[in-house]
Amino acid sequence: MKYLANTFVLVMLFASACSTINVRHVDTKGKMPKGEGFYYSLPKTVISIEVTVNKTYKIKGPYTIYANKYLGLSNVITNNSVTYSLDAIKLNSYSTPDLDQYYFVESSKGCIKKQPFLLELTEAGLVSSINRCGEIKSSVNTVTSSIENIEELSEPTGQFSVNSNIAESFDTIIEKVNLDTITYEKKVLKKIFVEKTLEQKAKEAADFIMRIKESSFYLISGSSEINYTKESFEYMYEQLKKTETEYLNLFTGITIKHQLKYYFTYIPESAENSVTLPLFRFSEKDGVTDTVSSKGGSVYLNINRSGNTNPISDFIDKKLNIKKKIHGFYYRIPEYGKVSIIYNDKEKTEANILINQFGAITELPSDKNLNILFYPNSGAIKSVEINGASKNPNICVKHKK
């Protein structure tokens, strides 16, 4: 009976040992673990900033100087120019593994086979759940800097005269003819072709615009004797207005707008309570430039932590004074931070963002029979069920009898 009692105690101890795990922080100073296991990481937050800039080209028309003379237009573009304006600034965040917060989940040799459990990780190695089945959504997004390439535009070129670029010109040639004692003058007309002047082309374009306006008026007033279908009428009127606009642009100039996208990222440090740093400089003349430029004004990123996890951190620090040999899964309790963009001493945009590295790190009980679901983006606990792994039908682990 004594032998049987000792055997029972050994089995119970073995079962107890296999029901626990030990999670160790990965560093080069500590002793290498002897047991079997695997790794996971806590996430840290990356702040991403998307800046949208409008780039506006204003290009004068080739007949601008004659706009008032032939069409009576005064509000026209007289000089080519390029200007920039801040359209929108968006704040966002994503998670990436924290290189300082990698952990090794250690289990005694043979215990994993005797009492298995399920640990779900994302592709980046962030913990998603323990003893739970579910779809894992990747929490790491790739953000790359990109600037849209815009070709520099020049003044409009091409044929802007309604008629030929060549005009007929007539010269009168006077020849003196001596016939016996009589001298008389002989006039000869010589036809030559010369290139039209810019003003001549502008006059023809203006006359053509007036003819288009007249045709549009006759069309919409119903003066035409032909009964057009609705589709034909709309098509002809649309083409007339399109042609009119194209020729008017030769006098008024054109305005072209493009959007440029800039992306910036910043990873806050865990020890920072408040940070203000320049992102870039901006001016209406030069657009976005780097921070060392002297052009334009500085655009700043400002981050202030809320401190809502300070009481938890103080409590955890007191618990750390109690020495423990076995540790459970480490997880994070994230903290909010106010993130804002400042330009010309004015706040352009702001958002309250959960910043993982500002929060507190603590641990779960070192028990395999935990049913836990995490938020992969923050590493915070979403749900916990203790000692319910064998009763929950959603758990994928099947214990052998």
Q: What pLDDT does 58 receive? A: 94
Q: What is the DSSP string of 257-318?
A: EEEEEEEEEE---TT-SEEEEEEEEEETTTEEE-TT--SSEEEEEEEEE--TTHHHHHHHHH
pLDDT digits over 44-100, tens only?
Answer: 999 999 999 999 999 999 999 999 999 998 899 999 999 999 999 999 999 889 988
pLDDT at 247: 92
Cα 140 from Cα 376, distance rounded (Å): 9
Tens digit of pLDDT for each residue in 116-160? 667 788 777 787 787 776 544 443 333 333 333 333 444 444 444
Q: What is the mean pLDDT of residues 327-336?
A: 87
pLDDT surpassing 90 at residue 293: no
Contacts (Cβ under 8 Å, ≥6 apart) of 360: 309, 312, 313, 316, 332, 333, 335
| Dihedral of the alpha carbons of 206, 210, 211, 216, in degrees to the nearest 10 | 140
* pLDDT at residue 226 is higher than 90: no
Q: What is the pLDDT of residue 158?
A: 42
Sequence-distant (6+) residues with CB within 8 A of 164 are none
Tokens representing 333 are 């309790």
Amino acid identity of residue 400, one-letter, is K
Q: Which residue has the higher pLDDT, 3 or 27?
A: 27
Mean pLDDT, range 295-300, rounded to an integer: 91
CB under 8 Å to 279, separation ≥6 — which residues? Answer: 49, 264, 291, 299, 300, 301, 341
pTM listed for this prediction = 0.69
Sequential DSSP letters for 180-227 = TTEEEEEEEEEEEEEEPPHHHHHHHHHHHHHHHHHHHHHHHHT--SS-
Q: pLDDT tens for residues 349-381?
A: 999 999 999 988 888 877 767 788 888 788 888
Task: Give the span between the Cα atoms of 21 and 328, in whole angstroms.
Answer: 7
Instruction: List residues bridging with 93 in a β-sheet.
Output: 47
pLDDT tens digits, 302-329? 999 888 888 888 887 776 656 667 888 8
In this structure, what are the phi and psi dihedrals at residue 146, rounded to the nearest 5 degrees? -150, 140
pLDDT range class, residue 28, cuts 50, 70, 90: low
Quote the pLDDT of residue 19. 60
Contact 376, 41 (CB under 8 A): no
Give the pLDDT score at 149.
38
